[in-house]
Amino acid sequence: MSLADDGRIIARVDFYWKRFRTVAEADGELKYDNPFEATYQLRRDAELRDAGFEVVHFGWTDVFFTPMQVAESIQAAFTRGRQLVTERGPAP
C-alpha cells in the first residue's frame, strides 16, 4: 500500500520499495482493453507521482521474455527514487 505525504491512502500496489520511494505494478493485458480502467490507471499513477513515488509497470510476459529489461527499469526507478528521498525525505 502506498501513502501520500499527508497519510491519505492512494492505492494498493503490487510491489513497494519504501527505501527508494518506488512502486511497481504487474499488469494483466486485459486491463487496458477497457478505456475506463486505462484512464483510472493514468490518474492513479499521476497521484502516486505527485505524492513523490516512482511508478514502474510491467506485464508477466515482460518478466518471462525480457526479465533484464524489467530489472533495468526497476533499477532506473530506484535511482530516480533516491533523488526523491533527497528532495522530499523518506517515504511515509
List the beta strands (DSSP E) in 1-92: 2-3, 9-11, 15-17, 22-27, 54-59
Q: Which residues pair with 57 in a beta bridge?
A: 25
Domain with 48, as residue range(s), is 2-88
Q: What is the pLDDT of residues 39-55, one digit of tens each?
A: 888 999 999 999 889 99
- What pLDDT score was predicted for residue 2? 57
User: How many domains, in total, are found in the chain?
Assistant: 1
C-alpha to C-alpha distance for 31 and 53, rounded to whole angstroms? 22
* Count of H-run helices and E-run strands, the chain: 3, 5
Q: What is the pLDDT of residues 57-74, one digit of tens each?
A: 999 899 999 999 999 999
C-alpha to C-alpha distance for 77 and 71, rounded to whole angstroms? 10
- What pLDDT score was predicted for residue 90? 83
